[in-house]
Chains A and B, each alone.
Chain A
Amino acid sequence: MKRRIAPWAALITAGLLLTSCAGVSLSRLQNDFNQLYQEKEACLSAKPTMAEEITNVKSIPCTEQAEAALFDLSQSAKSAADKAKDQRTKVALLRLAGLSLWQSGRGAEKEGNAFVNKVSMEGEFVCDVIEKKAKKGEIYGAPRDCALLTILQALVWHSEYKKRLEKLDEQKPSEESKKEFESLIGNYANNTVLFISSREKKAKAFTGLSSSVKDYIDEAKRRSFCNFQKAEEIALDHSMYRDLESKIDDQFQTMSRKTGLNRVDDCR
């Protein structure tokens, strides 16, 4: 299989390498993220070209290129965060690092997961310090970035579970896959919906937080909750998994009880 690399990915990667050496600009990294995110979305919605279909010569999927560049971006942002003198800028860069890692699709890998945990914990620690000063009126903090860091891990786990659910839906059921499915059902709520729910109060309490971020948290929680219906679909579609339906119902009840979300009302 021949490979060709999209020029934009090469350019951004080169830019990131330079950036990491020459002092990082939050503005520049944020712009790079926006561009890569949009490229990735465009890749996901693009159909194969006619040439690819006829010749069976596939380019490297551009999604992968964008994700690779997003991974590089996450490292650059983290590196910049380590050097940042202003704690609020540090938090903004950590938010960007975590966000990029999430969008790179490597959050569930061992290293990626460790990275997200590190970024989140470091961010939360700094945010606590900032928030104390902000509450006293000594400084203006970074409420949006702190709030997002507070729920970042749930976003990463959600993406990973979504991938696994889609894979389970496609593959032939087996004992092994059933075990995997069971494990997913047992962890999904805690790592996504309930994680957000448990941190929601703290996240929404950052001084001066915009309503748009509060909406975002609500929407992230809602989507995580509703997407769990896919587990029910899979369980009912495959006789081998049918006995897992009750466990899924239990999880839904727990999530509903703790979050107030309801499948009928909130997942239309």
Chain B
Amino acid sequence: MTGITPAMVILAVRALVRVGAAARESYEQKIRDAEILMPLPEQIDLDPVTHIRAIAKDDRFKDRFLADGDLAPYWDANKKAPLDGEEAQRKIIEAVELIWETELATPPNVKTMTGGGLKGQEAGYMILKQWAEGAEPPPPLARVVLTLAEVTLEFVGSNPSILGMGSSGEKLITALSEDLRELLPDADNPQDWTAAEWSKFYFVQRAMAIFLHAGLKTITEKPDVIIEEVEYRALVSNVLTPLVRTFEQDPQKVPSLLVFRDTLFGPMASAAFKTLAEHQEAFFGGRFSDSKAVGAVTKVLFETVAETGETNIRNVFTDDGLIQLYQAVLGVMVKRPEFFVGRGDSAEATLKRDLLLNVAKALQESPPPFTEELAAPLAIVALDALGNYAATSLDEEDAWEAVAEESILAFVGGLKDGLKTGNMESAFAKVLSREQMVVLTEIFFAQAAETPGMLLPGSDNKELKNLVGAVANAMATDGARLLSGEDWLIIAQVAAEEAAKNPDRLFQIDVADPEGQLANMLIKQLLQGAADSFGEEARRDGKIMFGETLRDVIITTLHAAAGNIEGATAHIHELEALEKRINQLASNNKHKIGIREAKMLFKELIVSVIDDGTVVVKRDNQRLSVSISDLTDEELMRFLA
């Protein structure tokens, strides 16, 4: 391969692309040089005596058939055939066979037919090669160049300058061809290639085509971005090379790598190029100049995908999900490259190699609907959030990937605890759409990442777990569907904020049971109250404790309870009673009490109810604390005035 330089490859590709059709015509060479079937002139059936005659006429043997010859008594010189009679024929045949056996060499044509056609010769044809061994054009590199040219041709139509001097396309192809030396066997000695080397060649050829396609696509989409050849080279050696190395080092992983190459490698390479184009400064400024991190992440992905152990990552994530996950990891890397590269030279040393596998393992346990399609978004949300978290809250030495794993485990654990009874899993799945599920995840992870101390390396993140469990459990109990998915997301946001602001209050750290969490109890109690008072004639009856009203009642309760958890715990039933009473008031005065009034009233009275379970009213010019059930409509209406 020493004779081929990257400059030659780029020249070849450019030349082929320039002539356009020539690139395609070059494929004719492959067809032209294929072996062909060539019929031989048909042999005519001859009488056996003809062969005897040939000997009788041959200068070396003819004397034996003439006058004094030993075979003359048995030979008819006129007919040029053995005389009639068994003995004469036997004598002649024996003599001829002896001559054939002892005096004649193997026919020269049989001796020299070494071109592979001997077998076909019996069938009337030969298989002919175009070239003598070693005389044929060197196919492997030519094929790679042709493949690169073919890929490039796709883009030349829409972007003619893609291969111009000094263009991004040229730099990319030069970078790729530089790596050819490392990736391919010696192209100058194709006959020395073993079967394994040939399979590697085809693997590399296809992978390079996919990689180039992804690169040119990015260049076409972002024509203003200037990426230098050295940067492309770094990307090639960090993305393509690990794939090829994994291919050649572990034959058992080859089948899954082939599938990976054809389904995921293209999108993954696109993601890598995009990250490169969009974050050049992050990648190539200062200490991140060698882009080791891309390689580290990519290698981890290859190894994880090729893993055939207990947890098969491709059973947990969809293909799209896996690519998005890869992008998310790249995203974290852009924010804090040092977490991947570390201070030393070894990129892999700082990246926990089984990050994705462990995430997959955690998600494998995840209850529906956080499986399959939602598994990747969940992981991505977690990684995104953790990327931000890592950027602000972790030191280089901290194992951010451990925090990522642990927080996902906490989230999944919370879901499992919260939805463990009855048919809660399916009830929960009905409350939110898939998109809303992702938003819910974002709410929790974003809040956790923003809250100092909520996520800690080496902890089991109980706060997050309890928060998720309690909210999910409450959501699953909304059997009457009094709240929409949007309402629930807003409640979850408030719950998460309150949990962050007031640790160990609404969501107690050491209470493992989600149903034992105050926030959960409050929400469920209010839900129950709303459901009880809703009734069959709910809408005609003018009742309002559902949707926006109920949502705000719950939110108001959470805010208020966070300030007085003892009171809220002690007067939880009174809170429900207040809710019911307001609902009843609205029903009785449907022209006077609407959503706005109901919300105002609840807000006005909740602090008092939480404090001692009563409401202070004026009766007969005296201020009296009365229970909710004793409140008249007029007294309640007076609060609104």
Which residues of A does B touch, CB under 8 Å?
A: 25-27, 30, 33-34, 37, 41, 85-86, 88-89, 92, 99, 102-103, 140, 142-145, 148, 155, 158-159, 162, 165-166, 207-216, 218-220, 222-224, 226-227, 229-230, 232-233, 236, 245, 249, 262-268
Contacts and interface: CB of A to CB of B under 8 A. Distances in A.
Contacts of B108: 265-266
B21 to A, nearest CB: 8
B115 interface: yes
Interface in B118-165: 121, 123-133, 135-137
A223 B40 contact: yes
Nearest to B37: A34
B104 A265 contact: yes
B444 to A, nearest CB: 60
Interface stretch (B49-57, B433-441, B623-631): B49-57
Interface of B: 21, 25, 28-29, 31-32, 34, 36-44, 46-47, 50-51, 53-55, 57-58, 60-61, 79-81, 100, 104-105, 107-109, 112-117, 121, 123-133, 135-137
A26 B31 contact: yes
5 contacts: A25-B31, A27-B34, A218-B112, A223-B40, A245-B80
Contacts of B60: 264
Nearest to A208: B135
A144 B129 contact: yes
Contact of A215 (B53, B55, B105, B126): B126
Nearest to A249: B57
A233 B36 contact: no
B31, B109, B125 — which one has the most chain A CB atoms within 10 A of its CB?
Answer: B109
Contacts of A224: 41
Contact of A166 (B44, B104, B115): B44
Contact of B130 (A26, A102, A145, A264): A145
Contacts of A165: 44
A212 B129 contact: yes
A208 B132 contact: yes
A86 B53 CA distance: 51
Contacts of A222: 109
A30 B36 CA distance: 8
Given A140-B137, A216-B117, A236-B79, A88 B40 contact: no
Contact of B132 (A103, A209, A216): A209
A26 to B, nearest CB: 5
A80 B105 CA distance: 47
A267 B37 contact: no
Contacts of A103: 39
Contact of A219 (B53, B121, B130, B133): B121
Nearest to A169: B44
A158, A215, A264 — which one has the most chain B CB atoms within 10 A of its CB?
Answer: A264
Contacts of A268: 51, 100, 104, 107
Contacts of B115: 210-216
B125 A37 contact: yes
B41 A227 contact: yes
Nearest to A147: B128
Contacts of B129: 144, 210, 212-213
Contacts of A33: 37
A213 B123 CA distance: 17
A232 B126 contact: no
A172 to B, nearest CB: 19
Contacts of B131: 143-144, 208-210
Given A92-B32, A215-B114, A266-B107, 15 more contacts: A30-B36, A88-B29, A103-B39, A162-B41, A166-B44, A208-B132, A213-B128, A216-B40, A216-B126, A222-B109, A232-B50, A263-B58, A264-B60, A268-B51, A268-B104
Contacts of B112: 215, 218
Contacts of A85: 21, 25
A184 to B, nearest CB: 13
Contacts of B38: 99, 148, 216
A155 B126 CA distance: 14
Contacts of B114: 211, 215
Contact of B54 (A144, A208, A212, A263): A263
B31, B34, B50, B54 — which one has the most chain A CB atoms within 10 A of its CB?
Answer: B54
Given A213-B128, A219-B121, A267-B51, A27 B31 contact: yes
Nearest to A166: B44
Nearest to B80: A236
B40 A227 contact: no
Contacts of B136: 140, 208
A143 B36 CA distance: 13
Given A148-B38, A223-B40, A212 B116 contact: yes
A76 B384 CA distance: 63
